Chains A and B, each alone.
Chain A
């Protein structure tokens, strides 16, 4: 196996090993846990601090989470562009031009967060 694929194959081996470990752990849990547990009423009811569950078993989340998830996508993409840039920007042949290119990119995205800031979207009320 070549060196390149070999490094990643170890990660694959890790995944296989973890699957085996989980199978073993859950089998052990099944064998060790009580075989015939009691089933009192309300045992499997949704937990709401000891009072009866009110309403359905899911709550609708607020749309605010969506905005944050979107900002995450935005900055994840920005980070992904920053990574290769960070590795090469001070190598011969790149230099100031590359820095300016990235500065423009970051500035445009910074406009987005500035907009969100001024519009009070980043206020978690």
Chain B
């Protein structure tokens, strides 16, 4: 972790946390909840407006300016609804499932750095609820506990659709949780720390600028650029982890009604929705923190010295988060839902192996840069070559079998199969085709119609 001295004045370090007076902690905690609710209210509106724009329709535009209050109206409506407890439900677990979801979602939000040190009522305090030396692990723990909310919600409903939805969802989330956890390893390797504020500082520390032919080039130290494969894997697994389209299989409307939420109503349903949107914002915020430089200003703006100080950090942070949330919505508006087997194959056969290989390759590269002795260097290169060779040798060869002739395939069918038409069947032209031709004739040509009938029905006459 190399932090340039320039940044030290604003950069919160781990030592800055845990010294707030209790009332500042309380303000921050309440702010986290307010942010969660606001993110949901605006997130739903944003999503509906953007998807509406992509589908060339207005989206919600009646309640409030630009329909901004639509979600608030819907949310209030939820509170006025009766809470129906299904007959087969397990009362206690049914009650706790949505609260588990929400608590886990908000806990992950608490370790995200929103900005640098600011002055709050005369106290110097970091713009972050709290940071600990294992902050990223707190996020992972929260998301792995969040799975309970969904699997228990599905189970406690005592109904088939929710149970299947909950199981699917949890299998999906555990699969992508693995990919997500491994993609973060590369960040740890480069940053050398697990605290979120430390990772933001480390990214700022790895900015490079070089001058070439009189031009000053600037390469931001964003891990999205340095660790591109990890960023891509993280983002894909984040979409899978939050059950968003195109990976929204647990809520596949056409198959499972609404998945684990089917039996939920009123406030509890609202809580599940809250958790879903907070999760979407949280994974975007984590992606911003780990890969996109956190609250620091992007390059052209960062030339201005004041950009990274004080409350300005919030602007850059939210801009990046909104950009990522927009990508989430964009994906939903563009891609069709995957089939479950395709989805699991992507997680276990593509993301996971690439991740493992990438981590070891990165480790090799970094050690190569540091090692000075030739023996170790050639040892690593030789080892890498050996691994590649072994993989090539062990790769299952999939030679395509030559296609069998048609008659052979027909003969191979079992007794009593559905009868096939004769192989040399000549299909008569469709009556619709004739009509099409007739309509294409110019309307004012007299006597054209018999011609048409003659030419197209010769084959029929022969039969």
Contacts and interface: CB of A to CB of B under 8 A. Distances in A.
Direct contact of A and B (CB under 8 A): yes
Nearest to B24: A10
A15 to B, nearest CB: 7
Contacts of A124: 340-341, 344-345
B90 to A, nearest CB: 10
A110 to B, nearest CB: 6
Contacts of A2: 18
A61 B168 CA distance: 10
Interface in B202-261: 257
Contacts of A106: 356, 359-360
Interface residues of A, number: 69
Chain B: number of interface residues, binned into ranges: 35 or more
Nearest to B396: A118
Interface in A81-125: 82-83, 86-87, 89-91, 95-96, 99-100, 102-103, 106, 110, 113, 117-118, 122-125
A45 B89 CA distance: 10
A53 B163 CA distance: 14
Interface string A64-89: 01001101100110110011001101
B371 A95 contact: yes
Contacts of B349: 117, 122
A100 B433 CA distance: 70
A25 B189 CA distance: 43
Interface string B9-50: 000001101111010011011101100000000000000000
Nearest to B106: A18
Interface string B52-91: 0000000000000000000000000001111111111000
Given A90-B189, A118-B396, A3 B164 contact: no
B106 A14 contact: yes
Contacts of A52: none
Interface stretch (B154-162, B410-418, B439-447): B154-162
B189 A47 contact: no
Interface in A22-53: 22, 25-26, 28-29, 32-34, 37, 43-49, 53
B26 A13 contact: yes
Given A3-B17, A14-B32, A82-B185, A99 B25 contact: no
A10 B28 contact: yes
B181 A79 contact: yes
Contacts of A103: 360, 363, 383
A108 to B, nearest CB: 12
Given A4-B18, A110-B356, A10 B87 contact: no
Instruction: Tell me the dominant secondary structure on chain A's binding face.
Output: helix
Contacts of B271: 25
A34 B130 CA distance: 40
A99 B172 CA distance: 31
B18 A3 contact: yes
Contacts of A7: 14, 17-18, 130-132
Contacts of B171: 65, 68-69
Given A7-B132, A59-B163, A47 B262 contact: yes
Contacts of A75: 178, 181-182, 352
Given A11-B132, A44-B84, A122-B345, 9 more contacts: A11-B138, A15-B107, A47-B86, A59-B163, A71-B348, A86-B359, A99-B360, A113-B353, A124-B344
Closest 6 CB pairs of A and B: A6-B18, A57-B88, A86-B188, A10-B130, A124-B341, A3-B18
26 contacts: A1-B18, A6-B18, A7-B130, A8-B132, A11-B130, A13-B22, A15-B107, A17-B30, A17-B33, A29-B79, A32-B79, A33-B81, A44-B84, A44-B85, A47-B159, A61-B167, A68-B174, A69-B171, A75-B181, A75-B352, A83-B137, A90-B366, A90-B367, A96-B376, A99-B363, A113-B352
